[in-house]
Amino acid sequence: MRMKYVLSEVLVGLWRNVTMTIAMIITMAVSLFMLGGAGLLYQKVGDMKDLYYENVQVSIFLATDVSEQQRTDLDAKLKSDPLVKEVIYVNKDEAYKRFQEMYQDAPDLVNAVKADQLPESFRLTLVNPEQYKSIYDQYKDTEGVDEIVDQSRLLDKVFGVLTGIQTFALVIAVFMAAAALLLVANTIQVAAYSKRREVAVMKLVGASNWFIQAPFVLEAVVAGLIGSVLALVFMALGKYFGGSGSLSALEGLITPVSWGDIFLMFPIMAGVGALFSAVTGWITLRFYLRV
Amino acid sequence: MTKTYPKASRPSLDNVSVSIEKGEFVFFIGPSGSGKSTIIKMLLHEVSPNKGRVVVNGKDVTTMRSWKRPHFRRSIGCVFQDFRLLPNRTAYENVAFALEVIGKTKAVARRVVPEVLELVGLGGKEHRYPHELSGGEQQRVAVARAFVNRPLILLADEPTGNLDPDTSIEIMRLLDRINRTGTTVVMVTHDSNIVNQMRRRVVEIESGRIVRDQARGVYG
């Protein structure tokens, strides 16, 4: 009976102040959505780093007037370098083939470029991609070398942008969370005020503190949980529409977000939503109800 | 014990010492602001003395932790001048509410509540709302609510303050009957008529000091 009483009090409480309840749930949902989004992005960036850095290459382009001797010397030097895991030599024909593949959507460009205009190169896979700098210093003045390009430089820029988006989402999440928690505090104050007579009688006859507080705290928790379900719906909609819309341009760059990833975020969002609401509610009651 | 409220120029209660035996019926009388109500608040563990001890039912209330207060309150019933009933609940529901919020089942309430409403003389009016009852009847509901859990002590803070003399006498008869079941009754009042009729122990307080403690007293 006590459980039934508490639950019915929770529903009545949420319904009594329904506009405030909706505002509370929406802000909470947006906040949790941003939090979940930031979490997903964090996870994805981690995956991508693993994936890309493993395959990242340093290209050493050779000068057009490179001699046979210079090329073999460099080849031998690279093969004996402890920093280098693998060396692949790409001659002019292969470079042209790669170029054709890469720009197959732009036939004009492909036609304008002849095979012997493209430089030969060595493609290196490093034992540790972060040691690019020492490779660069070591070979940049070697004769016959034109230019050294590190793909990880490019990736760092991409990851920089992604981390920026993630930080932005987190900042929004924090601000929305502050708004949501203030709404929780306000809702609970209103609820406590509208039930002040009952609370006074309960205190007088010796109802336990948890029994007096539970309906209010649970009200906040239920709102938090509904908010997290809503945030999950936002995410699902984001995947459903974003997958076929503007975000599909990023496909191939960002590893795809699976339904599993999204549902894995739910327990985190629900937990954060419920816990923060409960703590806020409880603290509000400490000040407002003085039980 | 001594109680000084913050910002007060003189103590509300100054070195007051009083002992009430189990089953007694005691009036605390005195003018407004003499400190009578502070005694009730101390017995309820609502305020603590600055100096001295308050012992209720063998427990030292002064050192009681606040989380133990709810359980402690279950052994004390309370009646006030303004009844403090829930307006949106019937007489039955008001009394049952007090039971249910301390964890008693609905079945217990169904058995006990009609009994106690009968005892206070409200048989047949269980399903009236407070606004459908007279002041005296509302106070009877409040007494029923205070007594339904069979407390050891019943505290009454000016219970007849809002009632006419005849109704007041009826409420006093009711409190007397409850006292005869072995419940200690502590009543704060300045209704001289009632004190004179009852001829019970009277403790008179003035400016925070006890000026009289008389076994079968009258209102000075």
| HEC profile of chain A | CHHHHHHHHHHHHHHHCHHHHHHHHHHHHHHHHHHHHHHHHHHHHHHHHHHHHHHCEEEEEECCCCCHHHHHHHHHHHHCCCCEEEEEEECHHHHHHHHHHHCCCCHHHHHHCCHHHCCCEEEEEECCHHHHHHHHHHHCCCCCEEEEEEHHHHHHHHHHHHHHHHHHHHHHHHHHHHHHHHHHHHHHHHHHHHCHHHHHHHHHHCCCHHHHHHHHHHHHHHHHHHHHHHHHHHHHHHHHHHCCCHHHHHECCECCCCHHHHHHHHHHHHHHHHHHHHHHHHHHHHHHCCC
Nearest chain A CA: its distance from B79 CA (Å): 10
Does the pLDDT value for residue A149 go beyond 90?
A: no
**pLDDT recorded at residue A244:** 55
Task: With beta carbons under 8 A apart, name residues in chain B contacting A199.
Answer: none
Q: What is the arithmetic mean of pLDDT over A262-268? A: 90
Residue whose C-alpha is closest to residue B66's, from A3, A215, A200, A286? A286
B6-25 confidence digits (pLDDT tens) = 666 677 888 888 899 999 99
More confident residue, B143 or A95: B143
Beta carbons within 10 angstroms of residue B71's beta carbon: 12
Q: Does A206 touch chain B (CB under 8 A)?
A: yes
**pLDDT recorded at residue A252:** 55
Task: With beta carbons under 8 A apart, name residues in chain B contacting A5.
Answer: 100
| Highest averaged pLDDT of the listed ranges A171-175, A176-180, B88-92 | B88-92
User: Which token pair is A3?
Assistant: 């459980």
Q: What average pLDDT is seen over chain A?
A: 83
- CA–CA separation, B48 vs B29, rounded Å? 21
**pLDDT recorded at residue B121:** 93
Q: Cβ separation of A201 and B100 shorter than 8 Å?
A: no
**Model confidence at B3, in pLDDT bands (50, 70, 90)?**
low
Owner of token pair 């002590």: B153
User: Which residues, at least 6 apart from B80, have a Cβ–Cβ distance to it below 8 Å?
Assistant: B142, B156, B157, B158, B159
Domain B1-75+151-220 has CATH 3.40.140.10: no
**pLDDT recorded at residue A249:** 52
Closest partner CB to B103 (pick from A2, A197, A209) = A2
**Model confidence at B97, in pLDDT bands (50, 70, 90)?**
very high
Q: What is the arithmetic mean of pLDDT over A144-148? A: 82
Q: Cβ separation of A198 and B106 shorter than 8 Å?
A: no
DSSP designation for B149: T
- CA–CA separation, A77 vs A89, rounded Å? 13
Q: Which residue of B has its CA nearest to A207?
A: B102
**ipTM value:** 0.88
Range of weakest confidence among A7-16, A176-185, A248-257, B14-23: A248-257
Which of A8, A196, A204, A209 is the best residue to mutate to test the B interface, defined by the most B CB atoms within 10 Å of its own CB? A204
Domain residue limits, chain B: 1-75+151-220, 87-150
φ, ψ of residue B157 to 5 degrees: the values are -100, 100
Task: With beta carbons under 8 A apart, name residues in chain A contacting B101.
Answer: 201-202, 205, 207, 211-212
Closest partner CB to B102 (pick from A5, A197, A207) = A207
Range of weakest confidence among A150-154, A162-166, A247-251: A247-251
**pLDDT recorded at residue A269:** 92
A-B Cβ pairs (cutoff 8 Å, strict): 50
Q: Which residue of A has its CA nearest to B46?
A: A204
**pLDDT recorded at residue B171:** 95
Q: Cβ separation of B71 and A5 shorter than 8 Å?
A: no
Instruction: Look up residue B85 and give its amino acid.
Output: L
**pLDDT recorded at residue A41:** 82
Q: What is the arithmetic mean of pLDDT over A145-156? A: 78
User: Which token pair is A152?
Assistant: 């990880």
Q: Does B50 touch chain A (CB under 8 A)?
A: no
A117-128 confidence digits (pLDDT tens) = 778 888 888 777
A218-243 confidence digits (pLDDT tens) = 999 999 999 999 999 999 888 887 66
DSSP designation for B216: T
Q: Cβ separation of A2 and B72 shorter than 8 Å?
A: no
